């Protein structure tokens, strides 16, 4: 991987690593577009007020200002870099609703910034890839099911280990908490969200100390969070806890629909995990988190959920459901564990060698013919000995070197050398084609990616 940069938390890639990242991005774009999602891009900055509308994450937001501030600048005018793509997308939908066709299906791949403590899997500047479906006033629940299936397909195309999409429903959780007498459901969810970090015993203490739960209520909340199934049998297990609530029933039915269809189409890749809470307050129904099997300590690589009122204008709301892939987190793990690598570090397939400095223009003619047919080509800058020009191609990772000369009758002749095998053959720049696997730099998966 690229060496540690001078600014911690702002990753940079070497050329061969960037090829791996581009492969991931291109694969995601292809899958998203196959499912009819349109690409958009939103601005990098939002007003502070807009960013902090939902959720308490102000400590992680990077403010943006000129080095010399205006004397009359105010908090309301302050700008900040977006910390995710969902909040800016909600604003985008409201401002452009008259130009969009609903339900609106969008994908968005952009940089985001978050002031976290840098560590593996957590950077201050990173790339996310989001898909969302947003409705005008209402949005069919079926989209919650569809987005889970789309994301499973998208992740399955990447050079990563097996993964599990863990799904829960906040209606289910909130209804259960209300049913046992815990009225501050968001506070309970925030504590349950810490389970994997601090353990059940500490979460139980927190529920009692900060939320006001009795030991019995804390035990009930933890019993719910302990339920995990790969099918819809979680419904029966929740019922066995003996809690009744209408919102609980609604959440159970919705989660059963997601898990039932997803487990049928992608068995083993979906789990109903009733400990999943998601920290952001704008989620209202289905919530998703995704972990790589054997790499659970990396955290979620893809998460999201249903939101009913994040995008709103007056009495008009635009409910949506979306999922976000942490592309930089995934790519960092792919590279650090050698799960995939680029076939070469440059796009060039051919280096056109020079016989002498006077042949540079003719070499450019050859390169032009090759490029016209989609073959990435470089031309040597100086007429060094052929051995040095070949070694230059080797260092660059260019597989073929092109040689041109003039026959006795004055006609040009051409040969191309595969410097890996040493084979050199006659070639015509108007028709020669490299093997398909050498035409572009490709990404090669490791023999196994589950270590």
For residue 286, which of 148, 146, 172, 168 has the smallest C-alpha distance?
168
The helix (H) or strand (E) run that includes residue 412 is strand 412-418
Say if residue 450 carries a ligand binding annotation.
no
What is the structure's pLDDT at 6? 77
CA distance 24 to 331: 8
Mean pLDDT of 41-67: 81
CA distance 170 to 174: 6
Residue 83, CA atoms < 13 Å, CB-side half-sphere: 23
User: What is the per-residue pLDDT across 197-218, written as a single tens digit (0 to 9) for each?
Assistant: 899 999 999 999 999 999 999 9
Q: Is the pLDDT of residue 306 over 70?
A: yes
Residues found in the chain: 451
Split at pLDDT 50, 70, 90, the class of 265 is very high
User: What is the per-residue pLDDT across 316-329, written as a single tens digit (0 to 9) for each?
Assistant: 999 999 999 999 99
Domains of the chain: 15-342 (3.30.930.10), 350-445 (3.40.50.800)
What is the structure's pLDDT at 58? 66
Say if residue 166 carries a ligand binding annotation.
no
DSSP 207: I
User: What is the per-residue pLDDT across 377-410, written as a single tens digit (0 to 9) for each?
Assistant: 999 999 999 999 999 999 999 999 999 998 888 8
CA distance 67 to 388: 50
| Residue 69 neighbours by CB under 8 Å, 6+ apart | none
Say if residue 283 carries a ligand binding annotation.
yes
Neighbours of 70 (CB within 10 A): 9
Say if residue 128 carries a ligand binding annotation.
yes
Split at pLDDT 50, 70, 90, the class of 82 is very high
CA distance 68 to 81: 18
Say if residue 282 carries a ligand binding annotation.
yes
Residue 127 contacts residue 328 (beta carbons within 8 Å): yes
User: What is the per-residue pLDDT across 241-255, written as a single tens digit (0 to 9) for each?
Assistant: 999 999 999 999 999
Q: Is the pLDDT of residue 281 over 80?
A: no
Say if residue 114 carries a ligand binding annotation.
yes
For the chain, the distance separating the N- and C-terminal CA atoms, rounded to the nearest angstrom, is 18
CA distance 362 to 79: 54
Q: Give the pair of three-digit tokens for residue 26.
A: 């291109």
Question: pTM score, two decimals?
Answer: 0.90
């Amino acid at each position: 991987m690229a060496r540690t940069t001078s600014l911690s938390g702002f990753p940079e890639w070497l050329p061969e690593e960037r090829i791996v990242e581009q492969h991931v991005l291109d694969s995601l774009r292809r899958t998203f577009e196959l499912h009819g999602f349109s690409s958009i891009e939103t601005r990098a900055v939002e007003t502070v007020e807009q960013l902090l509308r939902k959720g308490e994450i102000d400590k992680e937001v990077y403010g943006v200002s000129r080095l010399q501030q205006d004397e009359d600048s105010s908090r309301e005018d302050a700008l900040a870099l977006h910390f995710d793509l969902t909040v800016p997308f909600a604003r985008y939908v409201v401002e452009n609703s008259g130009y969009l066709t609903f339900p609106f299906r969008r994908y968005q791949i952009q940089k985001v910034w978050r002031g976290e403590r840098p560590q593996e899997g957590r950077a201050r500047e990173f790339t996310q890839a989001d898909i969302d479906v947003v409705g005008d006033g209402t949005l069919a629940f079926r989209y919650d099911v569809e987005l889970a299936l789309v994301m499973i397909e998208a992740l399955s195309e990447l050079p990563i280990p097996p993964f599990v999409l863990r799904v829960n429903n906040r209606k289910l959780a909130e209804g259960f908490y209300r049913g046992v007498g815990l009225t501050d459901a968001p506070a309970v969810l925030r504590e349950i969200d810490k389970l994997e970090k601090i353990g059940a015993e500490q979460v139980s203490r927190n529920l009692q100390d900060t939320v006001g739960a009795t030991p019995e209520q804390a035990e009930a909340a933890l019993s719910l969070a302990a339920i995990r199934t790969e099918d819809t049998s979680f419904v029966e297990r929740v019922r066995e806890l003996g809690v009744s609530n209408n919102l609980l029933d609604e959440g159970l039915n919705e989660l059963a629909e997601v898990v039932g269809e997803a487990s049928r189409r992608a068995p083993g890749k979906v789990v109903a995990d009733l400990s999943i809470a998601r920290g952001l307050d704008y989620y209202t129904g289905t919530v998703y988190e995704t972990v790589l099997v054997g790499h659970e300590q990396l955290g979620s690589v893809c998460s999201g959920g249903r939101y009913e009122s994040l995008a709103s204008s007056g009495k008009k709301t635009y409910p949506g459901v979306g999922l976000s892939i942490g592309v930089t987190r995934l790519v960092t793990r792919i590279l650090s564990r050698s799960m995939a690598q680029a076939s070469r570090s440059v796009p060039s397939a051919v280096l056109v060698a020079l016989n002498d400095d006077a042949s540079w223009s003719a070499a450019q003619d050859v390169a032009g013919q090759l490029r016209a047919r989609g073959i990435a080509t470089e031309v040597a800058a100086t007429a060094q000995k052929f051995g040095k020009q070949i070694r230059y191609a080797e260092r660059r990772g260019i597989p073929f070197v092109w040689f041109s000369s003039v026959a006795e009758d004055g006609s040009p002749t051409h040969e191309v050398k595969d410097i890996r095998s040493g084979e050199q053959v006659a070639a015509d720049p108007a028709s020669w084609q490299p093997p398909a696997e050498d035409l572009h730099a490709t990404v090669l998966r490791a023999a196994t990616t589950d270590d």
